[in-house]
Amino acid sequence: MVCKTMGDSGNRIASHAWKGDSHMLDSFGRNINKLRVSLGESCNMACTYCVTSIKDHIPDPNVLSSSDLLKLVSLLVQHSGITKIRITGGEPLLHRDLLGFIDGVRQQGVESIGLTTNGLNLSKLAVSLKEVGLDSVNISLDSLDAENFRRLGRAGRLERVLEGVEEALNAGLRIKLNMVVIRGANDHEVVDLLDYAIERGIELRYLELMRMGPLFQTEKFPLFSMSEILELIGKHYTWRKVDAEHDATAQRYWVPGGYFGIIPNESEPFCSTCSRLRLTSSGQLVGCLSNPTPTSIHHLLNQQEVASELNERVAHSIAFKEPVAFTGSNLGMSRIGG
Ligand code: SAM
């Protein structure tokens, strides 16, 4: 089936095609098969680059129950070519029915289920998360210095995150660490974090800062770029670039003892291979972080026949995807789930 829709974003026409029942290609040939599901905006941290204060995390009054959200996920898996799910937020480990939700997603028969967390509540949940079917966890960790951690995150204790990392390793979860590198704030910790990750056999990914939320249109954007990260690492490690999956957001590097990645949001945007769709906790689809115009699908919960309308809405949503580069947004990442 092939159809064309007109996106509201100017005159861009997005055509998309479902190959058989399982692949959905957009007009740029991107196979949109990854879904990020936000379980809610609540968070127990207030990272300086994500929000202006902890009060910015206003729970959405229209948040769906986890069983309704699960039904929407299942529709997207059945009808729209989604094969990989990542659970995010807000902070997903704060969600009361997280384990039930993962269990339900597991029963959809998807290829993989991942979760992104700040790790504060991970040590007590790691074993249950593994048991219920979670495959992998990305833990955000911007500093190994307790004071700096607190300065950047405005809340939470570093020690708890480090315990979470150990428990997740013991539970057999695949782990990645995410470090957002910010000039003048934690760039001096680039190598420390890599040492820490390599010692534990974990892949660390450096995230270039994105112009979102409080950083959108800021005059002094404290970007610490991919080339600067590589230069710093090069003083301590020999590194070599290796292949990454074609739709990976990270460029991947080998160093003696392990690998690391860099997600070069600013210096080498990867929108042309982006395969992600997002579902917010109130049942809105978001195709692109740069154009976070939501397309609602929650009314489909009450419909019998959903396939054609659902796919029309998915197509509308992905029509907003940028072809080449992220252009920034005033919406904070915790509102859409990254
Ligand atoms: N609470 C979870 C966590 O801390 O990982 C999940 C939600 S958080 C919004 C998802 C990811 O977005 C985190 O790794 C965070 O560091 C990243 N993030 C938030 N704002 C960002 C920005 N302006 N630039 C780059 N990454 C950002």
d(CA 291, CA 289): 6
Nearest alpha carbon to residue 25 among 252, 247, 188, 327: 247
Quote the tokens at residue 48.
């300086």
248-256, Cβ contacts within 8 angstroms, sequence gap of 24 or more? 248/273, 249/274, 250/205, 251/226, 255/194, 255/198
Nearest CA to ligand 1 atom 9: 334
State the CB neighbour count (10 A cutoff) for residue 53.
Answer: 10
Quote the tokens at residue 111.
């290829």
Does residue 280 line the site of ligand 1, with CB under 6 A? Answer: no
**β partners of residue 174:** 136
Residue with tokens 């939320």: 213
Nearest CA to ligand 1 atom 12: 338
Nearest CA to ligand 1 atom 1: 91
Instruction: Find the DSSP H helices in 48-144.
Output: 66-79, 98-106, 122-132
pTM check: above 0.75: yes
pLDDT at 156: 97
pLDDT per residue over 143-200, tens digit each?
999 999 999 999 999 999 999 999 999 999 999 999 999 999 999 999 999 999 999 9
**7 has pLDDT over 60:** no
Does residue 140 line the site of ligand 1, with CB under 6 A? Answer: yes
The pick from 39, 42, 50 for probing ligand 1's pocket by mutation, whose C-beta has the most ligand atoms within 8 angstroms, reads 50
Does residue 180 line the site of ligand 1, with CB under 6 A? Answer: yes
Does residue 42 line the site of ligand 1, with CB under 6 A? Answer: no
Does residue 334 line the site of ligand 1, with CB under 6 A? Answer: yes
In the chain, % helix, strand, coil (3-state, to 5) comes to 35, 25, 45
Average pLDDT over residues 289-297: 87
Phi, psi torsion values for 250, nearest 5 degrees? -100, 140
DSSP symbols for 16-60: EEEETTTEEE-TT--B--EEEEE--S--S---TTT-SSGGG-PPP
**8 has pLDDT over 70:** no
pLDDT at 11: 35
Cβ(242)–Cβ(254) below 8 Å: yes
pLDDT per residue over 229-282, tens digit each?
999 999 999 999 999 988 888 999 999 999 999 999 999 988 888 889 999 999
Nearest CA to ligand 1 atom 22: 210
